[in-house]
Amino acid sequence: MSHPEDPPTSSNTIAGVSLIDDPDLRSFAGRELGEASRGVILVVEAARERPSTKVLEQAGFTVHATYDGVEGSQWLASMTFDAMVTDVVVGGLGGIELLRYAREHDADMPVLLMTGAPDVETAAAAVEHGAFQYLLKPFPNTRLVDAVEKAVRSCRAARAKSEALQALQELETVETSARVDRGRWDNALRTLWMAYQPIVLPSGKLYAYEALVRSEEPTMRGAGDLLDMAEALDGLTALGRTIRSRVGKFAAENAGRHYIFVNLHADDLLDDTLTSRDAPLAQVAPAVVLEITERAALHDIEEAKIKMAELRSMGFRIALDDLGAGYAGLTSFAHLRPEVVKLDMALVRDIDKDPVKRKLVKSVTEVSRDIGTLVVGEGVETEAERETLMGLGCHLLQGYLFGKPQKL
């Protein structure tokens, strides 16, 4: 709060309504504290001349001043101060009441009480409510500045401690959360199982199963939750290996009867065990179709092509999943030349009612026919969708119309 300049006076003490002009105050205030250490002070004093306000402003503090205790409480509610200096007797709301109010709103802010008529009752109340200092008028200007400097130091130290404790608590919360997540993740891997959804020919005859990951961990029962946690905990490799191990056992038990479609995350292509000759799926590679989702961008198309060639040499076939769900699908389709493409569910849903979707799917089936790629219509739920996809040339169909994922 700015104030008109007051005429010079020789007084250098605060007692009642003394005016202040002390040329040594600035050097006194700065002898131990740098400019960055000055604080924001609330001053509530009865004297209209505001002597304490003038002393503190001259010493370099930022001061908000008022004569009224109620207004002072409003300042406390709306701003953060490094200290408050108040007369014990002040209009509207007394100094002791302000002290109580300050403690409720900011426990770290020091409160300095000033009085020219001390008594046992107010002194006891000051102690009870944690006043930082009880200044008896008259006192030298330098004593006020010194007391406020100490109060600012105390306040900043207390707030730094509070912030450090809060940061520590937040860190402990994060660490606890991480431990809980890790425990849940370990349980998810331990209880992981595979559900299998049928993929059929237009005639309805079973052609293959898609292996879909599930878990008994309550917070990660589905593939989406498992993948989210795997990415968060750097667990994609462990998840991929566990899935392939589970599917390998099922494929070995069903060898020669049906193809098995297995989803791969793009990061799985970086795992050397994928192409290991003694890997679980390697033993049944001719019966396995590896699905690469279009939603997860491949790190490097050329590197992916090399990896695909190696996988094909082992007997695997490659499918591009979710064609139409992202931006990279057609590029991946052109470069990787998959044996199978699976249309994204969004293209299949209500395709019988949407001519634009029909044109898009028709273009995919025509290109696929020319290059010898099978097209799977995924997410089929109605007979109308089934008939439309068959008419557009889809070779295979998958969805709730033919069966939900289940344990086999």
Please answer whether residues 255 and 289 qualify as being in contact, where contact means their C-beta atoms are separated by less than 8 angstroms.
no
Residue 99 lies inside a defined structural domain of this protein: yes
**CATH number of domain containing 37:** 3.40.50.2300
Radius of gyration of the chain (CA): 38
Q: Are residues 243 and 386 in the same domain?
A: yes
- Final residue before a domain boundary, out of 145, 164, 183: 164
What pLDDT is stored for residue 32 in this prediction?
44
Residue 407 lies inside a defined structural domain of this protein: no
Q: Are residues 141 and 206 in the same domain?
A: no
Please answer whether residues 67 and 46 qualify as being in contact, where contact means their C-beta atoms are separated by less than 8 angstroms.
yes
- Final residue before a domain boundary, out of 148, 164, 180: 164
- Final residue before a domain boundary, out of 124, 145, 164: 164
Residue 184 lies inside a defined structural domain of this protein: no
What pLDDT is stored for residue 63 in this prediction?
94
Per residue in 288-328, pLDDT (tens digit) is 999 987 554 555 667 888 888 999 999 999 999 888 765 55
Please answer whether residues 389 and 351 qualify as being in contact, where contact means their C-beta atoms are separated by less than 8 angstroms.
yes
Residue 3 lies inside a defined structural domain of this protein: no
How far is CA 364 from its chain centroid? 39
- For residue 246, give both structure tokens: 């589970």
How far is it, in rounded angstroms, from Cα 377 to Cα 397? 5
Q: Are residues 122 and 198 in the same domain?
A: no
Residue 1 lies inside a defined structural domain of this protein: no
Bridge partner list, 196 = 211, 406
Q: Judge residue 314's burial from the number of C-beta atoms within 10 Å of its C-beta, 0-12 exposed, 13-18 middle, 19 or more buried.
A: middle
Please answer whether residues 387 and 351 qualify as being in contact, where contact means their C-beta atoms are separated by less than 8 angstroms.
no
In Å, what is the CA distance from 275 to each residue of 209, 262, 279?
22, 14, 7
Q: 170 phi and psi, to 5 degrees?
A: -65, -40
Query: What residues contact 202, with CB distance under 8 A and at least 6 apart?
Result: 390, 394, 395, 396, 397
Q: Are residues 264 and 122 in the same domain?
A: no
How far is it, in rounded angstroms, from Cα 24 to Cα 145? 11
Q: Are residues 41 and 80 in the same domain?
A: yes
**CATH number of domain containing 379:** 3.20.20.450
Q: Are residues 240 and 198 in the same domain?
A: yes
Q: If we measure between CA atoms, which residue out of 302, 191, 187 comes closest to residue 233? A: 187
Please answer whether residues 59 and 25 qualify as being in contact, where contact means their C-beta atoms are separated by less than 8 angstroms.
yes
Residue 177 lies inside a defined structural domain of this protein: no
Q: Are residues 145 and 269 in the same domain?
A: no
Residue 404 lies inside a defined structural domain of this protein: no
pLDDT, tens digit only, all 408 positions of the chain: 434 333 333 345 554 333 334 444 444 444 444 444 489 999 999 888 899 999 999 999 999 999 899 999 999 999 999 999 999 998 888 889 999 998 888 889 999 999 988 888 888 888 888 899 989 999 999 999 999 999 999 999 998 988 888 888 888 777 777 787 889 999 999 999 999 999 999 999 999 999 999 999 999 989 999 999 999 899 999 999 999 999 999 988 887 789 999 999 888 988 999 999 899 999 899 999 999 875 545 556 678 888 889 999 999 999 998 887 655 567 778 778 899 999 999 999 999 999 999 999 999 999 999 999 999 999 999 999 999 999 999 999 999 999 999 998
Q: Are residues 319 and 236 in the same domain?
A: yes
Q: Are residues 94 and 217 in the same domain?
A: no
Q: Are residues 339 and 223 in the same domain?
A: yes
Residue 204 lies inside a defined structural domain of this protein: yes
> Which residue segment(s) compose the domain that 351 sits in?
191-398
Domain count, the chain: 2
Q: Are residues 156 and 210 in the same domain?
A: no
